[in-house]
Amino acid sequence: KQEVTQIPAALSVPEGENLVLNCSFTDSAIYNLQWFRQDPGKGLTSLLLIQSSQREQTSGRLNASLDKSSGRSTLYIAASQPGDSATYLCAGIYGQNFVFGPGTRLSVLP
Amino acid sequence: EAGVAQSPRYKIIEKRQSVAFWCNPISGHATLYWYQQILGQGPKLLIQFQNNGVVDDSQLPKDRFSAERLKGVDSTLKIQPAKLEDSAVYLCASTPLGGWTGELFFGEGSRLTVL
């Protein structure tokens, strides 16, 4: 069974810190992996898509890596800001099937 | 480019009543998904359409949930009769080709409360 887990479930950091969010998947036959952000009461917003041929992807202060052999992806956020406070979800992509983790709820304190 | 549109944003109903949600995907996106998201959890797939055909509805509770995508564009998800445990956010998402190379784009969701 394809499962995705995320650790930690919640994280609180002071503004300016660099932080890492973790995503683990049980089926290494993953094709792509996508990271999302979800603000309270909103839908999911795509942050980064890592294709199977890539090992990492960067957008601004965000960097995501994918290691299929170890079944892990990490999302690195540099110089965190209060506006980064949200829930971050990862999804393993198997063909046309997206398997979501439960998310990490991030709070960045001013 | 317009995003995925969903309506209504909020709906409150009594148990055993019916409700319908509407979704208009991004123009040109062939694949459309309906997800159920319960508070504190990740989205769970209900049904996937490719154009106007069903690709995967294995997790759709077919005794009470139904969905259609007429003409391969808009889609409607219906619940009848609703149960308390159906209280959740119903998310519609679309992607051009499916998971091969396309990102998944979500609407704002429809929040259902069943009393």
Mean pLDDT of A16-34: 93
Cα A23 to Cα A6: distance, rounded to the nearest angstrom: 5
Enumerate residues 47 to 106 of chain B having a beta carbon within 8 A of any beta carbon in chain A: 48, 50, 55-56, 91, 93, 98-101, 103-106
Position A83 scores a pLDDT of 97
Q: Is B63 left (phi over 0), alpha (psi -120 to 50) or beta?
A: alpha
Position A51 scores a pLDDT of 86
Chain A residues whose beta carbon lies within 8 Å of the beta carbon of residue B104: 34, 44, 46, 91, 98
Beta-carbon contacts of B53 under 8 Å, excluding residues fewer than 6 positions away, are none
B26 — contact with chain A (CB < 8 Å)? no
Position B44 scores a pLDDT of 96
CB B70 within 8 A of CB B1: no
B114 — contact with chain A (CB < 8 Å)? no
> Across the interface, do A96 and B43 touch by the CB < 8 Å criterion?
no
Mean pLDDT of A38-61: 92
Q: Is A61 left (phi over 0), alpha (psi -120 to 50) or beta?
A: alpha
Identity of the residue in B31, B42, B109 whose CB atom sits nearest the CB atom of A100: B42
**Searching chain B, which residue's CA lies closest to the CA of residue A4?**
B42
Q: Is B73 left (phi over 0), alpha (psi -120 to 50) or beta?
A: alpha
Mean pLDDT of A74-80: 97
**Searching chain B, which residue's CA lies closest to the CA of residue A96?**
B99
Q: Could you read off the pLDDT tens digit of each residue along chain B, which spans 115 residues?
A: 689 999 999 999 999 999 999 999 999 888 999 999 999 999 999 999 998 899 999 999 999 999 999 888 999 999 999 999 999 999 999 988 654 556 889 999 999 999 9
Q: A44-51 and A56-59: which strand pairing?
A: unpaired
> Across the interface, do A96 and B99 touch by the CB < 8 Å criterion?
yes
Q: A44-51 and A19-25: which strand pairing?
A: unpaired
Identity of the residue in A42, A94, A100 whose CB atom sits nearest the CB atom of B99: A94
- pLDDT tens for A85-105 read 999 999 998 888 899 999 999
Position A17 scores a pLDDT of 97
Position A86 scores a pLDDT of 97
Distance of alpha carbon B83 from its chain centroid, rounded? 17
Cα B107 to Cα B54: distance, rounded to the nearest angstrom: 20
Q: What are phi and psi of A53, to 5 degrees?
A: -80, -10
Could you give the maximum distance between any two Cα atoms of chain A, in Å? 41
Q: Is A103 left (phi over 0), alpha (psi -120 to 50) or beta?
A: left
E strands in A1-110: 4-7, 10-14, 19-25, 32-38, 44-51, 56-59, 62-67, 72-77, 86-94, 97-100, 104-109
Chain A residues whose beta carbon lies within 8 Å of the beta carbon of residue B103: 34, 46, 49
Least Cα separation, residue B92 to chain A (angstroms): 9
Position B100 scores a pLDDT of 56
Cα A95 to Cα A4: distance, rounded to the nearest angstrom: 15
